[in-house]
Amino acid sequence: MRPEILYPLFGSLTALKGIGGRTAAHLARLGLSRVVDLLWHLPTGVIDRSYRPNVAVAADGAIATLTVRILEHLPAPPGGRRPYRVRASDDSGEIDLVFFSTHRGYIAEMLPVGATRIISGKVEYFQGRPQMSHPDYILSPEAAASLPTVEPVYGLTAGLSGRVMRRAVEGALHHLPALPEWLDPALLQRQGWPGWQTAVKAAHAPISEADTEPLGPARARLAYDELLANQLALALVRERMKRRKGRAIVGAGALRAKVMAALPFALTGAQVRALAEIDADMKSDDAMLRLLQGDVGSGKTVVALLAMLSAVEAGGQAAMLAPTEILARQHYDTLKPLAEAAGVRLALLTGRSKGKARELALAALAAGEIDLLVGTHALFEADVAFADLVLAVIDEQHRFGVHQRLRLAGKGQGPVDMLVMTATPIPRTLALTAYGDMDVSRLDEKPSGRAPIDTRAVPQARLEEVVAGVGRALASGARVYWVCPLIEDSAAVDLAAAEARAAALRDVFGAAVGLIHGRLKGAEKEAVMADFVAGRISILVATTVIEVGVDVPQATVMVIEHAERFGLAQLHQLRGRVGRGVDKSTCILLYGSPLGETARARLKVIRETEDGFRIAEEDLKLRGAGEVLGTRQSGLPEFRLADIAVHGDLLAMARDDARLIIAKDPELAQARGQALRVLLYLFERDAAVKTLRSG
C-alpha cells in the first residue's frame, strides 16, 4: 500500500486550484494526469524578460519587455482570417500587437487607447514592421512589479499556454509533502545536493539556462532518486529470487555428450566460457540469475540447450520462453533433432495449443513426462504446472517484465534458475537499468567460418541497379530479404508500401517473391516463413516484422529501403538476419537523399562494423538513451527524470548504493529503509516493495 504521505502526489490534477476539466484534458495529452506527473514535468529552458529595448531596436525573434502607449485598435475585418491588431508605440517607433481569435471585449479592456502598458513577449518582424502576437504579459504601470524577470519554459501542447502550465505546476508544488530523507547524508554533502523538497522546487524555478542542465544539483538529485528507485527495486527482486535457497544442479554430462556429438560444429570459446559460468551458477545453491548477452547469430540457443540438459540430467525440467509464436516454433524445430539424439522429451506450448492436445501436454508436464518445454507467454497461464521446474530460459527477454520473471519463478517447487538471453546488444548502462546488477555472460565471438557481411549504402535513385544485383544473386541460388521502411506512423501506409514493392518485384521475379507483414495471422506468417526457408519463395519482402532471432542460414542478401529512417540498433538487428551461414552475405542500405547528419553518421557506423556492442555504444552517443531501443517496445524502463546518456555515472552509483542498502538492511526495516520504501512508492515500484516481509 502506498504510504499516506504520498497521497497528495497521486491525486488527480483537477483537485488542484485553477485546473478545470479542459486544462486537465490538455495536460492529459502530455501524459500528465496526477500531481506527481506535473512535478516530474521539468522545464526545458527559461524565458528571460530582462531585455527592455526601445521598440525601434527590439531584435527580431527576441523575448522583449516594452513600455508602450496604445495608439489605435484595428479590428479584424469580419469573416476573414486576418487578426485583430492594436497599434502601440514608444518614442522610438511603432509596434503592432496581434491577436488571433481573441475576444474583442478582452482586448479593449486590456489595451485602452491612450493608456501606457508594459508588454512582454516575442518580437517578430512582419513585412518590415515589428509586431508581437499574443503578448505573454500585458500590465499596467502600477502592476509592473508583478512581471517575473525569468520564467521556466515547459513542454506544451496545442491549447495549453505556458502561463496555464506554470500555474498548474505552482499548484502542484503547493502539495509537496515533507518526505523523510532516503539518501545517505554523506552522499548529499559530497555531491552538494539539496533535500528532495528543495530539489523539486529548485528544478521548477531555474533562473538561468544553466539551471536546466541535467547535471545541476537539483536535477541530478532527482535523477539519482529515480535511478536509485530503479536499482533498488531490481535488487530487491533479485534478492528475493536468490533468497530461496535451493539445491545444487549438477548434470552428469551424459545427455550433453550425446548432443555435442550430434552437433555439426564445435562450440566457440565464448560459448564454452558462458556454459562454464552457467554451470557454476547452477551448481551453487543460490538461484541463478544470469543474462546471456550475445549478438545476433552468436549461438545462444545451443548454450541454452546444453544448460537445460544439465537440469534434465539432474532429474528436473527446463522451460524455454520465447516472445512470439514464430520464435517458439523455430526454437522447437531447432531443438527437436538434438533432443531426439539425446533421448530427451521435448514439447511445445503456445497460445495455439488448444483443447485435447493442450490437456495432454499439461498432464504430461505435471507428471514429469516432458523434460523440456518450449513456449510463449502461454507458459504463464495458471494451469501450466511443472513436476519439477529447475531452469527457465527466457529468450529476447527485454520484452518481458520483472513481474513475468517472478511469475515464471513461481512455477518451480523450489527456486528456479533463470537464464535470460538477449540478442539486443544493450550497452552496459542500459542493461543495468533493465536487469539491475545481474550476472552477465557475453558471447563476444562469432562462430567461425562466417564471412563478414559486405554492407553498402546506395542512394534510392539507384534502385534499378540493386534490383539487377538481386537478380544475379537469385540466379546463383541466394535467398533475399527486402525490408520496407517505416514511412509514417501508420501500419496501413507501411503495409501499402510493402505491397507495392512486392508487386514491383513480382513484375521482375514472378512467383519467387513473398510478402510478410504484421497484419498476417500467426499461421499465415509461419506459412510464408516456411516457404522462404524451403526455398519456395526466394525474395521475402517484409515490413519490419521480420522476427528478431529468425534463423534462415541460406539467406545471404538483405536490402533495406530508406535505411536512413531506421535506428542503429534496428539496422543491426535487421542485418543480423543474414551472414548466418558460411556463404558471403551482402547488405544494401538504400537511402533517400539528402541525408541528414545523424542519418549519415548512422549509416557510416553500420557500414564500418558488425560489432553489436560498438554499435550500441555509438547509438547511445547519437541519440538519447530513451530512444536507443525504442524504449517502449523494448520493455526497458523509461525514466522521467534521468537520462542515461548523461546520468550514466549516477546509475553506477545507484547500483552500488542499492547493493549496500540490501546488504545492510535487506527488509528495508530501519529508519533509512523506511524512507527508501517511500522512495520506491514515489517512483511506483510498488511490486518491489511487495517482496518485502512487511511491505
End-to-end CA distance of the chain: 8
Task: Give the nearer residue to Mg ion in terms of CB position, either 323 or 549.
Answer: 549
Residue 637 contacts ligand ADP per CB under 6 A: no
Residues 145-184 that bind ligand ADP (CB under 6 A): none
Question: Min. distance of Cβ 296 from Mg ion in angstroms?
Answer: 7
Task: Give the nearer residue to Mg ion in terms of CB position, either 118 or 391.
Answer: 391
Residue 294 contacts ligand ADP per CB under 6 A: yes
Task: Give the nearer residue to ligand ADP in terms of CB position, either 126 or 265.
Answer: 265
Joined grid coordinates for residue 49: 524578460
Question: Min. distance of Cβ 421 from ligand ADP in angstroms?
Answer: 7
Segment near ligand ADP (CB under 6 A); pick from 182-190, 292-300, 317-325, 506-514: 292-300
Residue 302 contacts ligand ADP per CB under 6 A: yes
Place of cell 517473391: 513
User: Which residues, at least 6 apart from 333, have a Cβ–Cβ distance to it below 8 Å?
Assistant: none
Residue 24 contacts ligand ADP per CB under 6 A: no
- Number of amino acids touching ligand ADP (CB under 6 A): 18
Question: Min. distance of Cβ 575 from ligand ADP in angstroms?
Answer: 12
Residue 299 contacts ligand ADP per CB under 6 A: yes
Task: Give the nearer residue to ligand ADP in terms of CB position, either 13 or 344.
Answer: 344
Whether cis (ω within 30° of 0) applies to the bond prior to 206 is no
Task: Give the nearer residue to ligand ADP in terms of CB position, either 498 or 578.
Answer: 578
424 binds, among Mg ion, ligand ADP, none (CB under 5 to 8 A by kind): none
Task: Give the nearer residue to Mg ion in terms of CB position, either 83 or 299.
Answer: 299
Q: Tell me the CA distances in angstroms from 637 to 155, 566, 633, one per residue in order.
A: 21, 21, 10
Question: Min. distance of Cβ 301 from ligand ADP in angstroms?
Answer: 3
Q: What is the DSSP string of 187-250?
A: HHHHHTPPPHHHHHHHHT--SSGGGGSTTSHHHHHHHHHHHHHHHHHHHHHHHHHHHS------
251 binds, among ligand ADP, Mg ion, none (CB under 5 to 8 A by kind): none
Q: Tell me the CA distances in angstroms from 9 to 5, 198, 205, one per residue in order.
A: 9, 16, 19
Find the DSSP H helices in 453-596.
463-475, 491-509, 522-534, 568-575
Q: What is the DSSP string of 148-198?
A: -SEEEE----TT--HHHHHHHHHHHHTT---PPP-S-HHHHHHHTPPPHHH
Question: Min. distance of Cβ 298 from Mg ion in angstroms?
Answer: 9
Task: Give the nearer residue to ligand ADP in terms of CB position, either 267 or 341.
Answer: 267
Q: Which residues pair with 289 in a beta bridge?
A: 418
The Cα angle at residue 10 between residues 9 and 13, in degrees rounded to 5? 85
Task: Give the nearer residue to Mg ion in terms of CB position, either 274 or 661.
Answer: 274
Question: Min. distance of Cβ 447 from ligand ADP in angstroms?
Answer: 3
561 binds, among Mg ion, ligand ADP, none (CB under 5 to 8 A by kind): none
Question: Min. distance of Cβ 397 from ligand ADP in angstroms?
Answer: 12
CA-to-CA distance for 600 and 602, rounded, in angstroms? 5
Of these, 298, 455, 585, 586, which contacts ligand ADP (CB under 6 A)? 298
- Contact string 266-285 vs ligand ADP (x = CB under 6 A): -xx--x--------------
Residue 592 contacts ligand ADP per CB under 6 A: no
Instruction: Name the closest residue to ligand ADP (Cβ).
Output: 299
Segment near ligand ADP (CB under 6 A); pick from 6-14, 260-268, 399-407, 587-595: 260-268
CA-to-CA distance for 694 and 680, rounded, in angstroms? 14
Of these, 15, 157, 265, 671, which contacts ligand ADP (CB under 6 A)? 265
Task: Give the nearer residue to ligand ADP in terms of CB position, either 306 or 625.
Answer: 306
Task: Give the nearer residue to Mg ion in terms of CB position, either 324 or 556.
Answer: 324
Task: Give the nearer residue to ligand ADP in terms of CB position, either 164 or 453.
Answer: 453
- Torsion angle, alpha carbons of 607, 613, 617, 622, to 10: 30
Of these, 329, 572, 577, 580, which contacts ligand ADP (CB under 6 A)? 580
485 binds, among Mg ion, ligand ADP, none (CB under 5 to 8 A by kind): none
Q: Confirm if 615 and 569 have CB atoms less than 8 A apart.
A: yes
Question: Min. distance of Cβ 260 from ligand ADP in angstroms?
Answer: 11
Q: Confirm if 415 and 281 have CB atoms less than 8 A apart.
A: no
553 binds, among ligand ADP, Mg ion, none (CB under 5 to 8 A by kind): ligand ADP
427 binds, among Mg ion, ligand ADP, none (CB under 5 to 8 A by kind): none
Name the residue among 573, 322, 570, 273 with its Cα closest to residue 442. Answer: 273
* Sheet bearing 346-349, strands edge to edge: 346-349, 372-375, 317-321, 389-395, 417-422, 289-294, 439-443
Q: What is the helix, strand, coil percentage profile of the chain, to 5?
A: 45, 20, 35
Question: Min. distance of Cβ 264 from ligand ADP in angstroms?
Answer: 8
Of these, 296, 314, 557, 682, which contacts ligand ADP (CB under 6 A)? 296
Q: Confirm if 307 and 278 have CB atoms less than 8 A apart.
A: yes
Q: Which residues pair with 348 in a beta bridge?
A: 374
* Sheet bearing 539-542, strands edge to edge: 453-459, 585-591, 555-560, 479-483, 539-542, 513-516
Of these, 121, 297, 514, 648, which contacts ligand ADP (CB under 6 A)? 297
Q: Binding residues for Mg ion, per CB under 5 A?
A: 549
Task: Give the nearer residue to ligand ADP in terms of CB position, either 275 or 480.
Answer: 275
CA-to-CA distance for 280 and 298, rounded, in angstroms? 21
Residue 323 contacts ligand ADP per CB under 6 A: no
- Contact string 397-426 vs ligand ADP (x = CB under 6 A): --------------------------x---
Q: Which residues pair with 420 in a beta bridge?
A: 291, 394
Residues 473-512 that bind ligand ADP (CB under 6 A): none
Task: Give the nearer residue to ligand ADP in terms of CB position, either 172 or 307.
Answer: 307
Between strands 45-48 and 150-153, the pairing is antiparallel
Question: Min. distance of Cβ 300 from Mg ion in angstroms?
Answer: 5
Place of cell 529470487: 241
User: Which residues, at least 6 apart from 247, have a Cβ–Cβ distance to it below 8 Å?
Assistant: 285, 390, 414
Q: Confirm if 222 and 179 have CB atoms less than 8 A apart.
A: no
CA-to-CA distance for 667 and 239, rounded, in angstroms? 10
CA-to-CA distance for 513 and 471, rounded, in angstroms? 12
Q: What is the DSSP string of 277-318?
A: HHHHHHHSSSPPEEEEEE-TTS-HHHHHHHHHHHHHHTT-EE
Question: Min. distance of Cβ 267 from ligand ADP in angstroms?
Answer: 5
Residues 75-134 that bind ligand ADP (CB under 6 A): none
Of these, 43, 323, 427, 447, which contacts ligand ADP (CB under 6 A)? 447
Q: Which residues pair with 399 in a beta bridge?
A: none
Instruction: Name the closest residue to Mg ion (Cβ).
Output: 549
- Contact string 535-574 vs ligand ADP (x = CB under 6 A): --------------x-x-x---------------------
Name the residue among 333, 278, 337, 340 with its Cα closest to residue 310. Answer: 278
Of these, 65, 120, 131, 301, which contacts ligand ADP (CB under 6 A)? 301
Binding site for ligand ADP (CB under 6 A): 265, 267-268, 271, 294, 296-302, 423, 447, 549, 551, 553, 580
